[in-house]
Amino acid sequence: MYQFLKNRIQCILPKRLLKRFEPAIRNGIYQFYKGKKYRCNICDAHLKSFIELPNKDLLCPRCASLPRTRRLFEILNNENLLQGTVLHFSPPLSLYQQLKQITDIQYISSDFENEFLADKTYDLTNITTDDSTFDLFIAYHVLEHIEADIQAMQELFRVTKKGGKGLIQTPFKSGAIYEDFSIKTPSERLAHFGQADHVRVYSVDGLVERLVSVGFEVEVLTFSEDAGNYYGYKMTETVLLVGR
C-alpha cells in the first residue's frame, strides 16, 4: 500500500510541492497504519504495522524514521548523552526535528553534500571549529563515505571535549575491513561495497582499532530484539560509543 500511495503522490505533485507538504502527506499515510501493536519512539506514532522496505528495514509511516534512527534515539536517552553542545552529521529529518526542540542543549547539524537539513557544511576531514568544542558528536553512516577516514577520526577527536562522547555506526562485515581505492565508479562501488557512494566496508574490530589509534576509548554496544519488537528495531545491531 505504501509504495502505491507514494508513487501516486509523486506522479501528482512536483518535487518542490512534495517537500513542502511532506509532513501533511505522511500524516495522511499514517492514518492507514494506526494501531496498537507497535510504536515509533521518535514521533510517538502508534501503529498496527511499520512499513517494510525492500531491504527489510521498518519505516515509520508518520515521521519516516528507520530502525537505526529509533535505536539511536533510545541510546541518546538511556545513556543520558544529550548534554551541552551536540554535533550531528547528516541527521535524519525525524531526529533533527526532535533534537532541535530540546532547549537544554546546543544542537548543531552538519551536512557536506546539502542532502539533509543542516546548520553547517563541515568537511569531516577538516572541521572548521576550535579544539574541544563538542560534548557529543553523532556520526551515523558517514565514515564509510570518506576515503581519508583516519583524518576524519582525528578531527572528531580534536573537536570533542575531554570527557565528551561520540556515537558511530557504519555497515559492518565479519573479518577485516574491505577497502580498495582503485575502485572508483559508482557501479563498481555498488558491487564491492553495497552502495554507489561507499568506499569501504568496516568490520567492528577494524573500526575500533582505527578509532583507538587516534586516541578514542571505545565501547561496543550490541543489541538484539525478541519477536515482539515493539519499536521496530533491527533484530541485531552494533553501535560504537566512543569517548576521550
Question: Higher confidence at residue 111 or residue 136?
Answer: 136
- DSSP label at 58? E
User: Using CA atoms, how far apart are residues 103 and 107, in angstroms rounded to an integer?
Assistant: 9
Return d(Cα 169, Cα 143) in angstroms, integer. Answer: 8
Contact by Cβ (8 Å): 45, 30: yes
CATH architecture label of 67-243: 3-Layer(aba) Sandwich (3.40)
Average pLDDT, the chain: 89
Distance from the first to the final alpha carbon of the chain:
47
6 three-state secondary structure: helix
3-class secondary structure, 10 = helix
> In sequence order, what are the residues at sequence separation of 6 or more whose Cβ sits closer than 8 angstroms to the Cβ of residue 7?
none
Q: Contact at 8 Å (CB) between 25 and 9?
A: yes
Domain ranges of the chain: 2-59, 67-243
pLDDT beyond 70 at 11: no
Residue bearing cell 544529550: 82
The pLDDT assigned to 24 comes to 65
Q: What is the pLDDT of residue 13?
A: 44
**Cell numbers placing 89:** 552529521
Q: For 176-227, what is the HEC assignment? A: CCEECCCCCCHHHHHHHHCCCCCCEEEEHHHHHHHHHHCCCEEEEEEEECCC
Instruction: Return the pLDDT at 22.
Output: 63
> 74-77 long-range CB contacts below 8 Å, 24 or more apart?
74/41, 74/231, 75/167, 75/221, 75/239, 75/241, 76/167
Task: Give residue-wise pLDDT tens across range 121-179.
Answer: 999 999 999 999 999 999 999 999 999 999 999 999 999 999 999 999 999 999 999 99
Calculate the dihedral angle through the C-alpha atoms of 167, 171, 174, 176, rounding to the nearest 10 degrees.
Answer: -80
- pLDDT surpasses 80 at 113: no
What pLDDT, in 10s, does the model give residues 192-242?
A: 999 999 999 999 999 999 999 999 999 999 998 777 899 999 999 999 999
